[in-house]
Structure 1
């Protein structure tokens, strides 16, 4: 295998038809050009140039080689330009997965900024549960996953991103219950429960919290959409289990009211998950840096 730079010198010389002109264009000395061409000819075992009084001319073997050298170096140059565009975030893909509420309330602000700064990067966004996101990470379908912790998966490296606090919220129909502390037991009785669908990490957390207080979660309404849970609570259908920061606007506006459990609901953490055994793409690394600055 010959040195790629030898072929580049061969190409410049063939185009210039003169060793001195080739050396000037390459910013090297004429003896260096001459020595390299002799090495290339020796390595290939053929004569590539006829040395003339006013320059050089390709031999038939040299002309045959030139066609392939031009194509090869053109591809290499294109590859280098592609790498540079990826480094400059002028092209490429950002592949990321998260749940719907996390996308809306944690991811989109940073994603908006990233898209505005790097419009040439194609954004591929997958919405799913933590289990689905971790599966896609392992299969290499996405590069970054925003998931609820803990996530005991030896194939994934997970770093905390943001702490979140869950709460039960009600609409105006139950607002009087938000005026004083309420026990977990009182959540079962006059207040219908509105919970996320089974299988979601938020539902699992709610079930664990209720179970820790000797209660079995029996939802009156189960919904996979956070927006629908919020809407049902606002309309007076019961107490919805949601992340407090995701309904802050409704709480501020007086459309929803936060219940005050006597047994505090522990905080949770949203984390950034990536494949442990794979190098993270430049685009993904840069987005994680941006996302961390938004939280």
Structure 2
């Protein structure tokens, strides 16, 4: 029979065989190895014998006082030790995740999360679970949905509607969308689609354009009415849009959370829509996926913080 080379050794060895071998090599006897593993001495002896038979090598020289490693045993030992260490570290990492004592949680947030008091989300999570590293990704809802669907973010909060073919969507909160103007005459009554089509609108989320969920709702309403909305000015952030409105450049739309925040500029006026419109905030995850304990806890905290605000 061909004698295996060192690179072939341990191809088929089980973890029990490796543990028995390493314990016996360290302690010098099958009896001491069995005691350290809390098993019968015969079990350790049998595991080593089977390993030797399966690999076609002798691992120990059975001396009268102490087991001695053969050349094959000496070759195997460092590999066995590294393999067992890797397995034990992996098991420890999984236990840490289950107990929220380690690992990394990756969570996506909608662009205007700060207006929903979600800027404190990481602080609340870290206070309770300081051993878990946090990667919080703040994007437009469009990209959060794409990242979750691709598996690069485990879960996240978005504003609906989104493309949800590969996603499980759990609505959490509805927030009314308001029309904002510096001119009080523009908000004397709820605004209509016709008003929007004629207004000088300053809209944010320019990069995402009409893919942005709030702007998408506006576009769909205009389309059903046979009209088209053309922004006068487009910027990236809601704060920029509000500054321009405060300076009389045009009007905009924001969620009630933004309108009621401390950073909402003085001197601006709001009204609703004749057919009320809402931003619906939802938790998303991949269809058929099971959230890790850390992501599940992050989602629970986010839900609680949103509920408390309303």
Q: Taking structure 1 as the reference length, what is the TM-score of the superposition?
A: 0.82
Alignment partner of 1:226 is 2:234: no
Measured after TM superposition, the shift of residue 245 of structure 1 is 1.4
Alignment partner of 1:20 is 2:31: yes
What SS does structure 2 have at the residue aligned with 1:165? strand
Q: What do residues 132-179 of structure 1 show as CA deviations (whole Å, max 9, x unaligned)?
A: 3333333333222322223343222222122121011234xx34665x
Conserved? CA contact 2:110–2:159, under 8 Å: no
Q: Partner of 1:204 in structure 2?
A: 216
CA RMSD of aligned residues (A): 3.1
What are the equivalent positions in structure 2 for 1:51-130 lying under 5 Å apart? 51-102=62-113, 104-105=115-116, 107-130=118-141
Aligned equivalents of 1:133, 1:236: Cα separation in 2: 33
Conserved? CA contact 2:197–2:228, under 8 Å: no
The gaps in structure 1 that reach 5 residues or longer are none
Alignment partner of 1:49 is 2:42: no
Measured after TM superposition, the shift of residue 255 of structure 1 is 4.7
Q: Partner of 2:4 in structure 1?
A: none
Alignment partner of 1:4 is 2:15: yes
Conserved? CA contact 1:155–1:276, under 8 Å: yes
Alignment partner of 1:243 is 2:251: no
What are the equivalent positions in structure 2 for 1:154-169 lying under 5 Å apart? 154-169=165-180
- With 270-279 and 213-222 compared, the bigger mean Cα shift is at 213-222
Aligned equivalents of 1:12, 1:210: Cα separation in 2: 74
Measured after TM superposition, the shift of residue 5 of structure 1 is 1.0
Conserved? CA contact 1:206–1:241, under 8 Å: no
Measured after TM superposition, the shift of residue 237 of structure 1 is 4.0
Instruction: Summarize the Cα distance change of 1:181–1:11 in structure 2 as closer, same or farther, 3 Å threshold.
Output: same
2:152 to 112, 131, 141: 141
Aligned equivalents of 1:121, 1:48: Cα separation in 2: 42
- With 5-14 and 204-213 compared, the bigger mean Cα shift is at 204-213
Alignment partner of 1:195 is 2:203: yes
Instruction: Summarize the Cα distance change of 1:222–1:53 in structure 2 as closer, same or farther, 3 Å threshold.
Output: same
How many residues align structurally? 290
What SS does structure 2 have at the residue aligned with 1:38? helix
Q: What do residues 62-105 of structure 1 show as CA deviations (whole Å, max 9, x unaligned)?
A: 22222221222122222222333333444433333343213553
